[in-house]
Amino acid sequence: MYKAENLSKSYISKRKFSQLLKKRDKKKVLNNVNLNIEKGKVIGLLGLNGAGKTSLIKILTTISSYDSGKIYCDDMVVTPKNKIEVRKKINLITGGERNLYWRLSGYENLRYFGTLYNIKALDERIDEVLSIVGLTDSKNIPVEKYSKGMKQRLQIAKGLINNPEYLFLDEPTLGLDVHISKEIRTYIRKLSEDYNKGVLITSHILEEIEEICDYVYVLNRGEIISEGSIADILMEFKKEHSFKITLHSKREMEILKEIMDQESYSYDICSENTINILTLENNELELHRIIRENNLNIMYFIHKPPKLEDIIMEIERR
């Protein structure tokens, strides 16, 4: 287990006026944060821009300092003295295309980063991580010729090079297309399921991490304001997925309505051929299956996932 206990951090900003008075302004960015990362689990850290996600991940990965609290890596308390030892057990993956050498091939990039860790049998390890992220066949191609998705998969391979037990991912799908993001998330899920890594992933989009996280922390202005499974959080704040489905005929609507009654979905009837289905989980695939199996003709299918903003507004309102 990787653990944060009552972590707090302030940044000191010097303002011109207070500088004159020789005073420094303190800005609290993390306030008593408690969080656990279990091996084999994907943990989500959700927060809007500026919530403190990157600050927290930098502290957890020993890059930044903090004012008070404790960090544990398994049974070891993380201190500046043992951070080299801790860094052997963890790694950080950030979104975007920085930190890779574009002129070098995927293999050469990994060889370079691997030597920084002084890994024995590095070539074997490189082959292993390339196969985990499905880049074996493109390992000798320069990274500048990789697609965005391939570059991000190489970032994941880079994060795996030291065979860490805990992986920290800071918005790994930022700026990627919907389908590429989905593909990256599949690889992230695999890391916990097949390789027993403890994974922490940050995002500002609830829908994005809903499908892969076992447990989620909501960070707002440096404080954890809610935690649990996404379904628990949605239930607590009564924010649901809404599926607006318009069918071709009134008769088909009757059929769908009957099925929804049997399956105990909640719904509103909007018109004679339009229904609005509300669920706490993302049941898009399930609904598509029901529609297909009953030969229903869809005119429109609109999925409105719940938004993190709405949950945070609700928490602040309460």
User: Which residues of this protein are in contact with Mg ion, per CB under 5 A?
Assistant: 53-54
**Of 83, 88, 204, 244, the one binding ligand ATP by CB under 6 A:** 204
51 binds, among ligand ATP, Mg ion, none (CB under 5 to 8 A by kind): ligand ATP
Considering only residues 9 to 38 of the shown chain, the ones binding ligand ATP according to CB under 6 A are 11, 13, 29
Backbone angles phi, psi at 258, to 5 degrees: -60, -45
**Segment interacting with ligand ATP, rule: CB under 6 A, options 53-61, 86-94, 130-138, 158-166:** 53-61
User: 13 or 19, CB closer to ligand ATP?
Assistant: 13
CB of 203 to Mg ion, least distance (A): 10
User: How many Å is the Cα radius of gyration of the chain?
Assistant: 23
Residue 90 binds which of ligand ATP, Mg ion, none (CB < 5-8 A, kind-dependent): none
Given 4, 37, 42, 53, the residue binding ligand ATP (CB under 6 A)? 53
Q: Indicate the burial class of 137 (C-beta count within 10 angstroms; 0-12, 13-18, 19 or more).
A: exposed
CB contact at 8 A, 269 and 275: yes
Stretch that binds ligand ATP, among 31-39, 51-59, 223-231, 296-304 (CB under 6 A): 51-59
Which three-class secondary structure state does DSSP give residue 99? coil
Closest residue to Mg ion: CB criterion:
54
CB of 49 to Mg ion, least distance (A): 8
Q: Which stretch binds ligand ATP (CB under 6 A): 47-55, 125-133, 269-277, 279-287?
A: 47-55
**Distance between CA atoms of 28 and 223, rounded to whole angstroms?**
10
Least Å from the CB of residue 9 to ligand ATP: 9
Q: Which of 295, 249, 294 is nearest to 275 (CA)?
A: 249
Sequence-distant (≥ 6) Cβ neighbours of residue 17 within 8 angstroms: none
Binding status of residue 203 toward ligand ATP by CB under 6 A: no
Cβ distance to Mg ion smaller for residue 49 or 295: 49
Picking from 20, 52, 21, 31, the residue whose alpha carbon sits closest to that of residue 204 is 52
Among 19, 24, 50, 297, binds ligand ATP (CB under 6 A): 50
Best CA proximity match to 57, nearest among 213, 166, 188: 166
Measured from the CB atom, the residue of 64 and 246 that comes closer to ligand ATP is 64
170/252 with CB nearer Mg ion: 170
| 142: DSSP letter | B
Q: At what angle do helices 148-160 and 178-195 cross, to 10 degrees?
A: 20
**54 versus 105: smaller Cβ distance to Mg ion:** 54
Question: What count of other Cβ atoms lies within 10 Å of the Cβ of residue 148?
Answer: 14
Q: How far apart are CA 286 and CA 223, in angstroms?
A: 35
- Interface residues with ligand ATP (CB under 6 A) are 11, 13, 29, 47, 49-55, 204
